[in-house]
């Protein structure tokens, strides 16, 4: 628990204190002594030393744990939700909220606490010219409110459940104010200097995680543009590829969600579906556009696109996790596919999903040398090849998806 039965160090003032975002300056501004000033004071300080050490250890442990929890996340919403959840779980705050600054408006991105649903916090927004959090977003200085009853800026909700004390800090991302972390407790004077140190450390971790997420998004956009250029080149060679890829992406994502894939796995399926034919860039155009049946030689050249696509994507850090999926899309569940004769669960699940959706879309699509199958016939073919060409659980998920359209 954040509050302890041990004597707490409290600020002398009951009004709001705006503090610079600097740990040492902030704790000094709270006017909290850090060592005994007389022999008489030393006795209670020694008595409380063990409690203080335990609380400090707990705070350090939470900060370290939170850092590990935020490290792999690349979505601002996920980062905010994880941060407030971990803080509430560890310290039972009356309320832990992260608000995002959009222009001159603060919008709640995530909140945790016993009254979150009751007061509709997730739909709450405020101007930066209102409330304690607005002042923090406007000035970039943290605000410490030891007793909310004496703060004119505090936005009141319900006297029976309003908190007694509040700590509000700016979240800084790449040198700019990104939003606000707000922590509240029921009792007045519930926060001390250690809480301030913890909150500042947590804010730094949140800011660092959000900065990593922004950089990752920029890299993703850059790589997506580069890959888009490659796809444009491929589409110029084979016009069928463009619409086919879009259809396979949409279907693959739906099937992947039905099968419970994680966000990271969904991302890989998304890009594997977009890029599953990228290796055809190395296949002669006359073979890709041939209206009749391919010769054995020509089919061998077509088969090379799985290997070419996999090796191409393996060289790009952003698509390295997608490469095994693209390489394995034409593997068969019974081991009779190409290029590596993988079978069963040795084939990445994402590849099994995209491969099945790719085959289904190919069956129902018109080509220069044949008309597409009716959907019912294509579904019957999926069932016929379930367990041989296709993974049965993927077939089941795909058929369920199609039946609801």
At a CB cut-off of 8 Å and minimum separation 6, what does 19 contact? Answer: 25, 26, 29, 30, 141, 142, 143, 144
Q: Are 82 and 109 in contact (CB under 8 A)?
A: no
Which stretch, 234-243, 311-320, 326-335, has highest mean pLDDT? 326-335
The residue ranking higher by pLDDT, 292 or 359, is 359
* Per-residue pLDDT, 383: 97
Cβ-contact 77, 179 below 8 angstroms:
no
Q: Is the pLDDT of residue 9 over 80?
A: no
Sheet strands side by side (includes 176-185): 17-19, 142-145, 165-173, 176-185, 95-102, 105-112, 125-127
The sign of the dihedral angle between the CA atoms of 129, 130, 131, 134 is negative
What is the predicted pLDDT for the residue at 190? 86
223-260 residue pLDDT tens: 778 777 777 777 776 666 667 788 899 999 999 999 99
Residue 32 confidence (pLDDT) above 60: no
Residue ranges of domains in the chain? 17-213, 238-403
Beta bridge partners of 19: 142
Distances (CA, A) of 246 to 39, 275, 315: 77, 10, 24
CATH of 17-213, one of 1.10.10.60, 3.40.50.300, 1.10.510.10, 3.30.450.40: 3.30.450.40
Residue 233: phi and psi, rounded to 5, are -65, -45
Chosen CATH of 238-403 out of 3.10.180.10, 1.10.3210.10, 1.20.1080.10, 1.10.1740.10: 1.10.3210.10
Dihedral in degrees, nearest 10, Cα atoms 317, 319, 324, 326? -150
Q: What is the mean pLDDT of residues 336-355?
A: 97
Residue 172, strand partner residues: 177
pTM of the model: 0.59
Write out the two tokens for 364. 């129902």
Percent above pLDDT 70 for the chain: 80
- Judge whether residue 21 has pLDDT over 90: no
DSSP H/E element including 171: strand 165-173
Three-state DSSP class for residue 119: coil
pLDDT greater than 80 at residue 34: no
């Amino acid at each position: 628990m954040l509050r302890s039965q041990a004597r707490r160090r409290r600020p002398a003032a009951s009004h709001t204190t705006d503090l610079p975002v600097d740990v040492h300056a902030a704790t000094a501004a709270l006017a909290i002594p850090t060592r005994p000033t007389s022999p008489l004071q030393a006795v209670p300080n020694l008595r409380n030393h063990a409690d203080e050490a335990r609380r400090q250890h707990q705070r350090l442990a939470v900060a370290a744990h939170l850092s590990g929890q935020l490290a792999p996340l690349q979505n601002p919403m996920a980062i905010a939700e994880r941060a407030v959840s971990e803080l509430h779980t560890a310290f039972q705050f009356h309320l832990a909220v992260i608000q995002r600054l959009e222009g001159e408006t603060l919008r709640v991105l995530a909140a945790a606490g016993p009254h979150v649903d009751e007061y509709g916090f997730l739909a709450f927004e405020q101007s930066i010219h209102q409330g304690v959090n607005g002042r923090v977003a406007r000035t970039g200085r943290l605000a410490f409110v030891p007793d909310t009853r004496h703060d004119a800026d505090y936005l009141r909700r319900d006297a029976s459940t309003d908190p007694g004390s509040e700590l509000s800090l700016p979240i800084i991302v790449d040198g700019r104010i990104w939003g606000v972390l707000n922590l509240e407790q029921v009792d007045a004077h519930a926060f001390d200097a250690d809480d301030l140190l913890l909150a500042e450390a947590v804010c730094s971790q949140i800011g660092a995680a959000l900065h990593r997420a922004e950089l990752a998004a920029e890299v993703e956009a850059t790589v997506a543009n580069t890959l888009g250029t490659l796809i444009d080149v491929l589409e110029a060679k084979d016009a069928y590829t463009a619409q086919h890829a879009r259809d396979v992406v949409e279907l693959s994502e739906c099937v992947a969600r039905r099968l419970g894939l994680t966000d990271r796995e969904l991302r890989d399926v998304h890009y594997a579906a977009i890029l599953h034919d990228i290796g055809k860039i190395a296949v002669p155009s006359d073979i890709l556009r041939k209206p009749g049946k391919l010769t054995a030689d020509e089919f061998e050249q077509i088969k090379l696109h799985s290997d070419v696509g996999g090796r191409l994507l393996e060289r790009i850090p952003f698509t390295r996790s997608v490469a095994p999926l693209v390489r394995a899309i034409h593997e068969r569940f019974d081991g009779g596919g190409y290029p590596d004769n993988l079978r069963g669960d040795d084939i990445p699940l994402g590849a099994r999903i995209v491969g099945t959706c790719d085959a289904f879309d190919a069956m129902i699509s018109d080509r220069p040398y044949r008309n597409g199958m009716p959907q019912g016939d294509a579904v019957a073919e999926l069932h016929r090849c379930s367990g041989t060409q296709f993974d049965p659980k993927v077939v089941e998920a795909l058929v369920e998806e199609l039946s609801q359209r």
